[in-house]
Structures are given as structure tokens and as C-alpha cells.
Amino acid sequence: IEFLTTWVDGGVPMGEGEPIPYVDHRVHWMMGNPPHVANPDPAAAPQKHADGSTRLILDPQLAADTWINGFDFRTGDPMLRAAFFTVLGTGQYIGGWTPWSTSLQLPEGAAIKVPAGGRIAVDLIHGPATPKTNARAELGLYVPAGPVRATSDIVLTPDVTRLRDAKGRVQAAQTLATSRALLGVRVQISAGGRSIELRARRPDGWTEPLLWVRHFSQQWQSPYVFKRPVTLPAGSVIEAVSYFDPADTAPQLILTISAVDAASDLALSRGRAFLR
């Protein structure tokens, strides 16, 4: 109290100015008007998954193969907590959405291919909240202006039935055959998953921490994006360690890492993961 009194007596601003006008960013495109907009496919009914998520199928109505290097998602559902996008058919991970991070721009030169007539699957996560019926779902797709380098996924899927130890630890590893630049990560883990650690071990022995989620929340999932692409030389080993609750009799773990050939012209450097 004494500190606050001294602060006020010392001439703290009274806050008598006009409040900043409220802007509802859900009604406009954060990255400008997109050349393609994917809307729900009326022929594909929403599907409820065992993990509680709901899958919608979005159709951008592409007449030709199209490279995309960014997206913006608009929804009319205030209860939506997260959304994850993949190219239907190929299963390639595009990225994710949260209320505090609604769009994504890939590094210059990196792009994802959506085939002609291709559709996009979006997994919606509401947690314990009740979804709004017939809520708007629009995915704006942005295209690169110049040459592109295709992104692809590095997927870690350990055999949890063999690798789980007495402490509930599950491990996975994959060795890179070529140099790669890591762009982002999606974590899919069953209900008993408590934590996830991701790191890269370079051929020279140097270990690069990539991601550490101490308390993983199923209800507040998020995509992870590196501040800068993380370059790893050929021969590097990407390692994942996750701990599961012993009560989880069928633990599941999938780590999807979006990456691009490190030999591209991208402005690459070591980076760190941060929560979007």
C-alpha cells in the first residue's frame, strides 16, 4: 500500500486519455486478402475423433497444383482453442492456429504443395468447451512470388510397446540422411503424456535443445515454430523423450517436424522453439 501511495503521489499518469478503440481481428485477414480461401466441403461431414478433436474438410477449389507459403485462419467459434492443418491425401503438416496466433508465414523460399483438387483437413480442439454450431471456418492460403523449395515432414513415431521403460519413458530417434532446416513442430500425444523433450545431436557431438514442454496440456495444445530455421547437417540425430502416466496403458506419441532442404537459399541459422 505504501508503495502504491508513493507512486500515486509522485505523479503517476491518471489515465484520463481516450481508450484505444477495440478492433476485432477475427473479421479481417491479418496478412492481407489471400488469393485462395478454403471453406468447409459440404459433401464431407465433420468427424469426431477418439481424442475429442473434430475434423473438418476444407476445399480451396484449386484448379492446378499450387504452392503455398502461408495461411490465415478465421473462425466464428469463440470456444475454439487450437486447430491443426494438413494436406488431405499426402498428410503433410501445414501448421497450426491458436487464438493468440492466427496466421503463419513460412521463411522466404519455403513452400508446401497442394495438388489440384486437393483438400485440407483441419483438426479442431475445444477442450471441455462446447463447440459453436455451424461456426464459420475459413482458411486463407498465400502463394510465393518466386522460386520455391518444397518442405517435407520428419515424423518420429516410436514403438511405445517396446520402448516404454519402468518410469513411463518413451523414446524415439531419427538420423538425417541429408542436411535439413527445421521450421516447426506438432506434438500429438495420448492423454497420459506428461512431458516432451526434443533435441538434436550433431555429428560433432554438439547437442541442440529444440523443444521442452514440462507439462503438456491436452486442452491447450499449440503448434511450435522456431524463431529462425534450425539447420542440421547430414548425420544429425533428432531425439525425443516423453514421459507417460503409468495409468496410460496404450501410450501414443507422434512428433511431426516441418523441414526444408538446408541447401536452399533460405536465410538459415540456429534458432529456438517458442510457443505460438
Identify the pLDDT of residue 134: 83
pLDDT > 90? residue 174: yes
Average pLDDT over residues 183-212: 94
Identify the pLDDT of residue 149: 93
Average pLDDT over residues 221-229: 94
Q: Class assignment of domain 29-147?
A: mainly beta
Q: Would you list the domain boundaries of the chain?
A: 29-147, 151-275
Average pLDDT over residues 171-190: 95
Tell me whether the CATH fold assigned to 29-147 matches the one assigned to 151-275.
Answer: yes
pLDDT digits (tens, 9 = 90+) for 68-114: 999 999 999 999 999 999 999 999 999 999 999 999 999 999 999 99
| CATH level 2 (architecture), domain 151-275 | Sandwich (2.60)
Rounded Cα–Cα distance for residues 79 and 26 (Å): 13
